[in-house]
Amino acid sequence: MVSKKSLLAAMVILMFCISAIPTATAYKGYQLSRGPVDDFTLTNQDNLQMNLTDFRGDVVVVAFIFTKCPDVCPIITQLLRTVQDELGEEYQQHVSIISVTVDPGYDTPEQLKAYTEMHGADWPHLTGELAYMEGIWDSFGLVVQKNVLAAHLGEINGHQSADSTVVFVNQSGVVVELMNTPTAWSTTKFAAQEAGWELNYSVHSEYGTMLTGINGIDAPEDYSWYWKLMAFNSETESWDESAGGVDSVEHPNSANVAWLASTADASLLETPSDNTSSVSVVFPDNTSTSQVITEYTGWQLTTSAFDGAGISFTAPESQWGHYMETIDGESPADDNNSWWWELHQWNETSTLWESSDVGMDSIVDPTYLAWAPNYTDDSTIPAPGAYTEDNGQVCNGHGWEMGSGANKHCMCNEGYEWPEDSMLSCVLADVEEEYYVGHSTTTLILDTQRRPAIAWTGDSWNVQEFIGDLESLVENEGLVEVESSGIPGFTAIASIAAISIAAIRIGRKQLNKER
């Protein structure tokens, strides 16, 4: 018969051991479960050979890029630079980043060197012979497809050539094509438009748009409560407080957002329906409302494109709908209204731009729109996804500009490429491209056994969430000891041993007494 003291000792040991068992981690990216990838030997941008096993013992971030990639790859590279800069110092020594090309026919070590210097990326960028690279791609489960640009892992994030866009021509004739990338602020405006909500907000020069009131319910000046932005995480099916401002939450995270009075009950937020875009509101008294966005008009496409690119514009609403007043600080009013912003629609049949006979609110389900001063010759506006004619004003007359701000770059005509020192110029290419490359816009995180553990698709992932996954994996691999992780260290093991010995001694004494 077991005595009470022996049972108590056993329970103490059991509770101690249970507390030492590490708990599973919920990653923000796609959690993978598969075997290790094959080792490889490739050449980096400095013409040095490197093996994957050179990073043995580290958590390894593997990005797949190609240097002629016009949009996704430069963005991913810059995101990884931010990850590298903001990762905690204790974790940096246990994390390695490598980029592997999917276009080895063009991406020589010299090309990779120019690319890394242009983007300030100091980690290895690797290339090799095509036949050898194909085996590496297969090992990673990566689909690389010639002739078209495609994404083939997990779900497709980012924006392909078939997406709706807005071509913007400024007063100087500089052209930029903007992707349909609604921010959380875009989504909020769309819902307010349909629901008839009144929004009070201000625009700060440093912090961007600040929402202060909804339907007359304004946050008090003493900050006893404030409007808190929430974004729905489709992976965890939960509402998360946004780490960034309303202007920085982009597609796809901006699809379903909520405004929650900071003192209100967050559990009142309901799970949005699949394949919808919506905005929910919970007021300070815990009453709530929501609006599913059902309309998609030219005003929404215009708003999504300009908001996503960070280009300021004003389009006041009138009895005839929204009208374009200013774009990027350029206003007809500054020139005595001698010109105006003209809206164009792309005619799929004639493959030409045509001046729109209706306002942007009356265009339903638009595909491609263009905004330009009314004196612009329509034939000089580039076709969506195509190239401008030689106007000598941008990209040396051999391409057109895409993106804005730090992401602005040239889309060079066939036979032209970026020079070594700039993405805003197009020069005659020295090497004729033999094939086009499509690739999965996917970044993988490998554990210390070279097993792909987490996948992040697209080019719009959140840096802080990515860093969170990296740090969690480093901790789970036992590379960094964390008090709260539950992983027993030497002190815990010694304590278990001491308790076990004590329990044995208690058991023996009890046994002697019973005899």
State the DSSP string of 405-428: GGG-EEEEPTTEE--TT-SS--EE
Region of residue 120 (phi > 0: left; psi between -120 and 50: alpha; otherwise: beta): left
Determine, yes or no, domain membership for 483.
no
Residue 133 shares a structural domain with residue 201? no
| Residues 371 and 260 placed together within one structural domain of the fold | yes
β-bridge mates for residue 304, sequence order: none
The answer to whether position 434 is within a domain reads no
| 383-390 long-range Cβ contacts below 8 angstroms, 24+ apart | 383/346, 383/351, 383/353, 384/165, 384/167, 384/177, 384/346, 385/161, 385/165, 385/177, 387/411, 387/413, 388/175
Residue 482 lies in a domain: no
- Which CATH number belongs to the domain containing residue 122 in this structure? 3.40.30.10
Last residue of a domain, one of 351, 366, 382: 382
Could you tell me if 256 and 321 lie in one domain?
Answer: yes
DSSP state at residue 129: -
Is 25 a domain residue?
no
Report the number of distinct structural domains present in the chain: 4
Residue 64, domain member (yes or no): yes
415 in any annotated domain = yes
Longest CA span, the chain: 110
Query: What is the model's pLDDT at position 401?
Result: 61
Q: What does the alpha-carbon distance between residue 109 and residue 116 come to, in Å, rounded to a whole number?
A: 10
Number of other residues whose CB lies within 10 A of the CB of residue 354: 12
Are 190 and 93 part of one and the same domain?
no
Quick one: pLDDT at residue 310?
86
Residue 481 falls inside a structural domain: no
Same domain, 15 and 43: no
Judgement on whether residues 65 and 89 belong to the same structural domain of the protein: yes
Closest of 103, 109, 136 to residue 125, by C-alpha? 109
- Name which of 54, 251, 291, 261 is nearest 157 in CA terms: 251
Q: Which residue shows structure tokens 């009138």?
A: 318
Q: What are the pLDDT digits (tens) for 246-292?
A: 988 887 788 999 999 999 999 999 999 888 899 999 999 999 999 99
Q: Do residue 118 and residue 188 come from a single domain? A: no
- Residues 286 and 359 both lie in one domain: yes
Whether residue 369 contacts residue 302, with contact meaning beta carbons closer than 8 Å, is answered with yes
Tokens of residue 71, six digits? 């949009």
CATH number at residue 304: 2.170.130.30
Q: Is 243 helix (H, G, I), strand (E, B) or coil?
A: coil
Taking phi first (over 0 means left), then psi (-120 to 50 degrees means alpha), and beta for anything else, what does residue 208 get? left
Question: What is the span of the domain harbouring residue 404?
Answer: 387-429
Query: Residue 13 has what pLDDT?
Result: 42
331 and 290 part of one domain: yes
Residue type, 72: V
Burial class (CB in 10 A: 0-12, 13-18, 19+), 225: middle
> Residues 6 or more apart from 423 whose CB is under 8 A from it?
74, 118, 408, 409, 410
Judge if 297 and 352 occupy the same domain: yes
Same domain for 395 and 446, yes or no, is no
Residues 374 and 235 in one domain: yes
- Spatial CA neighbour of 161 closest among 146, 177, 145: 177
Distance CA 33, CA 304 (A): 36
**Per-residue pLDDT, 110:** 94
Report pLDDT for 235: 81
181 is a domain residue? yes
Parallel, antiparallel, or unpaired for β 341-347 and 125-126?
Answer: unpaired
The tens place of each residue's pLDDT in the chain, 515 residues long, gives 445 444 434 443 443 343 334 444 578 888 887 789 999 999 999 999 999 999 988 999 999 888 877 667 888 899 999 999 999 999 999 999 999 998 888 889 999 999 899 888 999 999 999 899 989 988 887 766 543 333 322 222 233 333 688 999 999 888 888 888 889 999 999 999 999 999 999 988 878 899 999 999 999 999 999 999 999 988 889 999 998 889 888 877 889 999 999 999 999 999 998 888 999 999 999 999 999 999 899 999 999 999 988 899 999 999 889 999 999 999 999 999 999 999 999 988 887 899 999 999 999 999 899 999 999 998 888 877 643 333 345 677 776 665 544 445 666 666 677 776 677 778 776 543 333 344 446 789 999 999 999 988 777 788 999 999 999 999 999 998 876 544 444 444 444 444 444 444 544 544 444 45
Nearest of 107, 109, 104 to residue 135 by alpha carbon: 104
